[in-house]
C-alpha cells in the first residue's frame, strides 16, 4: 500500500479520517458510491471540501494511486468528483488509479480551489 506523504491524515479538529495508517490484512475496503443528500451535516460537507482540496493540492488533475486514502471518504466522492483513471477499475484494490474531475469538483466545492491562505 502506497502511503501518500504530506497528505493530511484527517480534518483538523475532527475525527473525519482522510488516510489509513496500515493496510488491512484481508484486503482494501471497497469504495462504494454513496449518495450525498442536501440535508447532510455542515461538518460532513466541510470534510468533503477539505478532502477535495487536499486531492487538488497533492495530485492536481493527474491520476493517483488510491494507496492509504480512506475508502469511506472516497466513497462520498467516487463517480462524481473522483473517477477511475483506468479500466477495469477494482474498487477493492490499494493499487487502483483514480483521478480528480476538476470541473465537477470545482462546481461542487468552489471554495476548495481558492487560495489556501485565504480559505482557512
Residue 66 C-beta-side C-alpha neighbours within 13 Å: 28
Cα 12 to Cα 112: distance, rounded to the nearest angstrom: 15
CA 45 remoteness from chain centre? 13
Nearest CA-CA partner of 97 in 65, 59, 62, 71: 65
Sequence spans of domains, the chain: 1-23+32-112
Per residue in 74-86, pLDDT (tens digit) is 999 999 999 999 9
Per residue in 35-46, pLDDT (tens digit) is 988 888 988 999
pTM above 0.95, yes or no: no
Amino acid at each position: 500500500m502506497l502511503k501518500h506523504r504530506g497528505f493530511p491524515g484527517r480534518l483538523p479538529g475532527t475525527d473525519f479520517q482522510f488516510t489509513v495508517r496500515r493496510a488491512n490484512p484481508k484486503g482494501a475496503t471497497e469504495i462504494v458510491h454513496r449518495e450525498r443528500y442536501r440535508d447532510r451535516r455542515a461538518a460532513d460537507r466541510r470534510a468533503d471540501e477539505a478532502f477535495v482540496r487536499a486531492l487538488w493540492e497533492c495530485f492536481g488533475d493527474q491520476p493517483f494511486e488510491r494507496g492509504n486514502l480512506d475508502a469511506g471518504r472516497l466513497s462520498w466522492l467516487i463517480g462524481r468528483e473522483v473517477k477511475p483513471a483506468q479500466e477495469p477499475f477494482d474498487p477493492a484494490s490499494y493499487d487502483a488509479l483514480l483521478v480528480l474531475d476538476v470541473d465537477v469538483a470545482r462546481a461542487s466545492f468552489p471554495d476548495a480551489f481558492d487560495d489556501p491562505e485565504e480559505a482557512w
